[in-house]
Amino acid sequence: MSVATMQLPVSALHPNDYNPNRMDKAGFAELTAEVRHLGRIPKPIVVRRSGDGYVIVDGEHGWRAATEAGIEEVTCEVIEVDDFEARRQTYKRNQHGAHDAVGLGRMFQQMMEDRDISLRGLAKEIGVSEGKVRNTLAYVKVADLRNCYAGAKKGDVAELSVRQVRTYLKYPPVIANAWVSSGADLDAFESLNFIKLDLSNRYWGSTEREATDHYFEISDWVEIAKRGLAATVDSDFIKSMQRAAKLWAWTQRYEGRIARCEEYAQHVAAIGCFHVEEVLATLHKVPLVGDPQRLILSPERWSAVLKTSHSASTTQFDFAVNLSDAIEFELELQKWKPEHSAPAEEESLDLDDIEEQEQLEGVPQCLVDSDLSLEDKLHFHRRLERLDEETRNALLPGIINEVVRIDQLREGRHPKYSDISDPKKRDEEERYWRGGLTPDQTFDQLTVDHNGEIATQK
């Protein structure tokens, strides 16, 4: 590597765009005062040629101090190196200074791309441990995740310790970001390892369940974030996380109810905004309707009722009472609507009804009128379509009646089957009546029998 020492005008020098070195205001003021006292910079600035000027490799703060002090020329060492080596020297020449961890991580990333080398290869090239490179790159991951968070402050990631960075990466971003914004206290998660989950016997009328300490693993917090229950974690990190945990515990208790309704998680997540556990008791009273099932109040309407009740309350007790009254009013309103504002019958079809009608277009009426599911209706229609016209006309509607009968027996809806209370006897009777055949096997058997009769007649 060739080195040439010369005097260069400060106006010909330019800082690079990757320098991770940092100096606080007090340090820079001290350096500027020293440059003024000496009438020069304490040591040469290392640069490399770039177009008509020079890019600084090391000594940016000295150059800035010289500019501040009004010095027109500075001593420089001009080196001939590629991008990788320039970055390596920027890092190695400032071992005793301060680095911005995120900026250093991005520089390491670029160096790995420049030489197409691994983390281990970079560590060997710059003479540091693999752990040093790995930890520095972790800051970049956190910074990228943090940039997507509305509450992030510029530069807050660089202020984190390595241990804090590792902790951040263990948890879902919505939780980790709230943790950093609250101060990134490492003891916070320790206090959240065990949470006494009071399922509030007073609210649900249960005397069998008692509050117990639950050990929270990271997978539990991932599930809480996935369900949107951590979206309202605020500056009081521990308390709001405990609230999210209690909401999660409630969803575990009523998992079956929630599994039947895709929107339920949105209803539960909305509760976190109000810090009031009594709301869960009211939510549990809201009925599920329809197929697929849904809460009679949409997530948007539920949120509106919550906000209205909360704004009209001064205490938690008032809120619980107002919310209960509001829900009762909403339920009465839902009951009133069909009686007084039902549309005409031909306009009462919802989108699912219209879609089903379109799918059943061309299906024989006896199959449409059967109590088979839509899927089974379409399935047996396709099977009928594969038969020749003579066989199809001869078997309809008898084959469909037989298939429906077997389906009823299988589902326990046939009178000969459903009236039997003893499970063992009912199972024996069911096998007898359907001959051990499924609806598809019955279809096949009837088709074969019909074709066999035709062959005998011929």
The boundaries of the domain holding residue 453 are: 364-457
CATH number reported for the structural domain that contains residue 58 in this entry: 3.90.1530.10
- Which is it for the CA torsion 406, 411, 416, 420, positive or negative? positive
Q: What is the DSSP string of 291-358?
A: TTTEESS-HHHHHHHHHHHHHT-SSHHHHHHHHHHHHHHHHHHHHHHHHHHPPPGGG---HHHHHHHH
Q: Tell me, yes or no, whether 423 and 314 share the same domain.
A: no
Does residue 37 belong to any structural domain of this protein? yes
**Which residue type occupies 166?**
R
Q: Last residue of a domain, which of 128, 146, 164?
A: 146
Digit-by-digit pLDDT tens for the chain (458 residues) are 678 999 999 999 999 999 999 898 999 999 999 999 999 999 999 999 998 899 999 999 999 999 999 999 999 999 999 999 999 999 998 876 788 999 999 999 999 999 999 999 999 999 999 999 999 999 999 999 888 776 677 778 888 999 999 999 999 988 998 898 888 898 888 888 877 665 443 333 344 445 567 778 888 888 888 877 776 666 788 888 887 887 777 777 666 656 656 666 677 777 766 655 556 666 666 666 666 666 777 778 878 888 888 788 787 777 777 877 887 777 776 665 544 343 433 333 344 555 566 667 777 777 777 767 777 777 777 777 777 777 777 766 666 766 666 666 555 544 554 555 666 665 555 554 445 556 666 667 667 666 655 444 44
Q: Select from 279, 310, 341 the last residue of a domain.
A: 341
Classify strands 73-79 and 45-50 as parallel, antiparallel or unpaired. Answer: parallel
Total number of domains in the chain: 3
Q: Could you tell me if residue 167 is inside a domain?
A: no
277 and 373 belong to one structural domain:
no
Residue 155: inside a domain: no
β-bridge pairing 13-14 and 53-58: parallel
Could you give the 3-state DSSP secondary structure of residue 13?
Answer: strand
Region at 257 (left for phi over 0; alpha for psi -120 to 50; beta for the rest)? alpha
> Per the confidence metrics, is the pTM higher than 0.85?
no
327 shares its domain with 371: no
